[in-house]
Chains A and B, each alone.
Chain A
Amino acid sequence: MQFKKLTYWMFLAPTLLAILFVIIIPFIQGINYSFTDYNGFQINEYVGLDNYIRLLQDGKFLDSMIFTALFSVVSVIGINAIGLGLALIVTQRANKISTVFRTIYFMPNLIGGIILGFIWQFIFLKAFEGLGDLTGIEGFYGWLADTKTGFWGLVILFVWQMSGYIMVIYISFLNNVPDELLEASRIDGANSWQRFIHIKFPLIAPAFTISLFLTLSNAFKVYDQNMALTGGGPFSSTEMATMNIYNSAFKLNEMGYAQAKAVVFLIIIATISLIQIYFTRKREVDL
């Protein structure tokens, strides 16, 4: 029994209208803006590729891109290593305490980046000073005051936040590892390291693809944490790509130029996601 044409479109209309006005029209308009000198009120002229040429020579923008890329790579490694570690801890035994651990590791993900950023600002500024006084270790002083500690501060915050999220993905794959397989290997005398490398690891390989790209694109898109933890400072040296785009758009009102940066950003994010899809599909076919 087929859907009547009118009813079909009535079911789809609200969602389609929303994506039309919220994503599709802004998307096309955005590409258009990127070739103009749009300032938020009007377009005076079309400037061709000027905005794109300008961003290639804009040291501050390129620095923010490099900072973002470095941040993303380091975070992705940290999040996946620790996330997998946490997943292994909580799946060793199915008991109450494992559930409690899982609850705790996951908690930061429920709280917004703004609040997490402020929490860690307090930790890095005040608690680290306290730890420095307690231990006499120099390294605890002056956090977030320079680019290096700002960078590591952001990495620590993001790894602490996202590991619990990625843990959930690894857990769901680890739970699908058949018990018979683990039991058989145990009888054959495999220790827990051997069981991990030879049985669990190959079976959770798809989780790596999902997690790697998910964390990579999330890391690229970080804004709130950056805003609350360092605000981009000192001297915009810890400004990430999204904040750079935001500032040129809404602080300097160079909307056309900001939109050109946003298009470059779009291409990077879309490429990351497409590579992920390609690998996930390919693996499914191979299996």
Chain B
Amino acid sequence: MLKQRKYNNMTYILIGLVTSLVWIYPFYLVLVNSFKTKGEIFTNTLNLPFDPTFANYPVALEQLDFFSSFLNSVMITTGSIAIIVLFTSMAAYALSRKPSKTSSAIYFLFALLMLVPFQSIMIPLISIFSKVHLLNRFGLMIMYLGLASSMAVFLYFGALRGIPKALDEAAIIDGCNRFQVFWYIIFPMLKSTSVTVIVLNAIWFWNDYLLPSLVINKPGMYTIPLKTFYFFGEYSKQWHLALAALVLAIIPIIVMYMFLQKYIVKGISDGAVK
């Protein structure tokens, strides 16, 4: 019995290992080839470089305008998330603390809007925002607030059901107003849900291409995915530069993943199952 289980253990590790290698292989190939010269990529794609070179990276860094694209991505992602976390938790708080027909109707409206795919509102959305001169980073943040609100409101609403109303009432008797109750007592208790909301939206906004490509039209404002896309179009036959650019685009994500893995995995499973 024990021997059998040990044998099973080995099989699982072996299967897991082989699958992991298959999963990583595309990243590995991109990474090793980014250290090759243009010519070597064509003659020797699968092996390690004969004569590793870092020469592709400075060029890719410059052509990607990496630091400016990185800052644009950081700004748009954090700005959008900040307003989403604040406003949707407030909305969910109001809905959960005042059960009424109005609240139910608003909740139902949020649910209904989840059925609407982005492509079906894309054209009028861009027209409307263009008319009021909001095709810029600020406009993009408002769009993200609208598009991400249903999911965030549901997550917060679910968490708020577990926080007793007696807590609010005690604080109000002690002289707090609603905003103080929310900000000092309720909002800190929603921390775990906030992490989920932040993780889910960070992955979305950081990587989003279609919406920013429609909204942001000044090259200096481009995010990493936008810049990567245009860069690739220009350098499509120059794999050595293109691959270095891909590695640069991935690095910030991998670094974040290593530091915040626990939260990311939790955020994803909570968001997917609830």
Which partner residue on chain A sits nearest B177 by CB separation?
A: A7
| B178 lies within 8 A of A3 (CB) | yes
Q: Known: A114-B228, A224-B210, A269-B115. Is A249-B122 also a contact (CB below 8 A)? A: yes
Interface size class of B (residues with CB under 8 A): 35 or more
Sample of 27 A–B contacts (CB below 8 Å): A7-B179, A11-B178, A12-B91, A14-B91, A15-B87, A15-B90, A18-B146, A21-B128, A22-B142, A23-B146, A26-B125, A27-B121, A93-B12, A98-B16, A110-B253, A110-B257, A114-B225, A122-B30, A122-B33, A127-B29, A134-B46, A169-B273, A172-B273, A223-B209, A224-B210, A262-B122, A270-B115
Q: Are A15 and B19 in contact (CB under 8 A)?
A: no
Q: How far is the CB of B140 from chain A (nearest CB, A)?
A: 11
Question: Apart from A27-B120, A127-B29, A262-B120, what are 6 other A-B pairs with CB-CB below 8 Å?
Answer: A3-B98, A24-B113, A110-B253, A115-B246, A258-B123, A266-B116
Q: Which of A227-259 contact B (CB under 8 A)?
A: 227-228, 242, 245-246, 249-250, 255, 258-259
Task: Indicate which residue in B19, B115, B225, B242 contacts A105 across the interface (CB closer than 8 Å).
Answer: B19
Provide the A188-220 mask, 1 if CB < 8 A to any CB of B, else 0: 000010000000000000000010001001001
Chain A interface residue count: which class?
A: 35 or more
Per the 8 Å Cβ criterion, residues 166-211 of B in contact with A are 168-169, 172, 177-179, 182, 203, 206-210
State whether A30 touches B46 (Cβ < 8 A): no
Question: How far, in angstroms, from A154 to B83 measured CA to CA in the complex?
Answer: 35
A281 to B26, CA, bound (A): 40
Does residue A129 face the partner (Cβ distance < 8 Å to B)? yes
**B residues in contact with A98, CB < 8 Å:** 16
A117-131 Cβ-contact flags toward B at 8 Å (1 or 0): 011101100110111
**Nearest CB on B from A34, distance (A):** 9
A11 to B237, CA, bound (A): 53
| Cβ–Cβ < 8 Å partners of B114 in chain A | 273
| Cross-interface CB contact of B91 among A11, A92, A108, A274, cutoff 8 Å | A11
A165/B46 contact (C-beta < 8 A), A30-B120, A33-B123, A113-B209 known: no
Q: Does A4 contact B (CB under 8 A)?
A: yes
Report B-chain residues with C-beta under 8 Å of the C-beta of A250. Answer: 214
